[in-house]
């Protein structure tokens, strides 16, 4: 196999980073449109339908509006951290996509160069958990640097919420790691690829309790209903980002929707078989090179889309928790349940 030079490697790596970042940012924009459309249908209204056919250009107009709005910086803020906070929040949401295999890793070019994954890291799951956990600093710094009591209170309880539910989320993934015997995302996906849906950790791996815990913790981690306490406007005048405006304000919401997509990617890889077909070997492998390359991407995107649809469905259905109910649910129910799932999975694997 022909080896690539360092310049070719840098060129293709940079191209992958640019393409994936652009696609992710477009995904963030159109996830907002998806949510507005679906919530509109749930509430028996149309949602955005004026800008472009079926309202498809609405995200572009909203983005342009965010750029063009007046950028107001209050005089009392601690300026360095005030400006750094939205950058930290958005960067952590975007960087973690770098280790996600969104297509078949066996489709390689010269020098074993992977087309459908930016970086193949042997501890990819730990990298994702580590990067996303840093995002809490963006929220904490935003509230503190704003020099506003409402923002500070909002950032404190948001930070407490994120730290609390990170524990349950991390513990819910231990059973999956034990079944696969690896933290490598490729290995975890391939361990679910033998018999389609029957091999997925959600069904064949008996990790439906872990999936439920992950789902609940993901709602809280991404500030989504029914756990959207960080933005409880009736209590905190919008919470930690009260003093932000223009594009800096939009960056916090871009981070939120980017984290939603990231959570969907992790759920797809760990519980839903990743890029593999839900029909397993019932569908023959296509001989066409283009189909072989892009069919796994289609399955991956479809599963992530289904997860995002569930996100929006829950938002349009359930009311918001009180803060004491939120913390009680995380510490007294999800944490013990996650530990019991680890013990049960260990006993089952030892028995087998």
Could you read off the pLDDT of 252-311 as tens digits, one per residue?
989 989 999 999 999 999 999 888 888 877 777 777 777 888 888 999 999 999 999 998
Terminal Cα-to-Cα distance of the chain (whole angstroms): 41
Could you read off the pLDDT of 128-185 as tens digits, one per residue?
999 988 988 999 999 999 988 888 888 888 888 888 999 999 999 999 999 888 899 9
Could you read off the pLDDT of 165-179 as tens digits, one per residue?
999 999 999 999 998
Helices 149-172, 124-145: axis angle to 10 degrees equals: 170
The lowest-confidence range among 185-189, 229-233, 258-262 is 229-233
Q: Are 155 and 142 in contact (CB under 8 A)?
A: yes
Q: Which two tokens stand for residue 1?
A: 């196999």
Q: How many helices (H) and strands (E) does the chain have?
A: 13, 0
pLDDT band at 1 (very low <50, low <70, confident <90, very high): very low
Q: Which residues are within 8 A (CB) of 118 and not within 5 positions of it... i.e. 6 or more apart?
A: 13, 16, 17, 20, 97, 98, 99
Q: How far apart are CA 203 and CA 197, in angstroms?
A: 7
Closest C-alpha to 142, from 238, 241, 273, 35: 241
């Amino acid at each position: 196999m022909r080896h690539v030079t360092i310049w070719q490697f840098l060129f293709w790596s940079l191209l992958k980073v640019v393409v994936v970042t652009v696609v992710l940012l477009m995904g963030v924009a159109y996830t907002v449109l998806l949510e507005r459309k679906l919530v509109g249908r749930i509430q028996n209204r149309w949602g955005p339908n004026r800008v472009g056919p079926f309202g498809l250009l609405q995200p572009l107009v909203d983005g342009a509006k965010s750029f063009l709005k007046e950028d107001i910086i209050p005089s009392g803020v601690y300026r360095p951290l005030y400006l750094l906070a939205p950058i930290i929040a958005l960067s952590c949401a975007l960087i973690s996509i770098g280790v996600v295999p969104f297509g078949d890793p066996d489709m390689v070019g010269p020098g074993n160069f992977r087309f459908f994954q930016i970086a193949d890291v042997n501890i990819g799951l730990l990298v994702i958990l580590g990067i996303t956990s840093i995002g809490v600093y963006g929220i904490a710094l935003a509230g503190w640097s704003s020099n506003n009591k409402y923002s500070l209170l909002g950032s404190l309880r948001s930070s407490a919420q994120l730290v609390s539910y990170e524990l349950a989320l991390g513990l819910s993934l231990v059973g999956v790691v034990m079944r696969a015997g690896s933290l490598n995302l490729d290995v975890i996906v391939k361990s679910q690829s033998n018999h389609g849906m029957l091999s997925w950790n959600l069904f064949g791996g008996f990790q439906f309790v872990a999936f439920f815990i992950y789902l609940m913790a993901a709602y809280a981690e991404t500030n989504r209903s029914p756990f959207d306490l960080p933005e409880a406007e009736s209590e905190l005048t919008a919470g930690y980002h009260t003093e932000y405006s223009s594009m800096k304000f939009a960056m916090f919401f871009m981070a939120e929707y980017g984290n939603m997509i990231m959570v969907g990617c992790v759920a797809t890889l760990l519980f839903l078989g990743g890029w593999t077909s839900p029909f397993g070997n019932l569908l023959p492998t296509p001989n066409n090179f283009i189909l072989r390359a892009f069919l796994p991407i289609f399955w991956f995107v479809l599963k992530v889309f289904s997860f995002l649809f569930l996100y929006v469905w829950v938002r349009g259905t359930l009311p918001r928790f009180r803060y004491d109910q939120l913390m009680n649910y995380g510490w007294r129910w999800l944490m013990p349940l996650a530990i019991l799932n680890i013990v049960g999975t260990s006993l089952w694997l030892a028995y087998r």
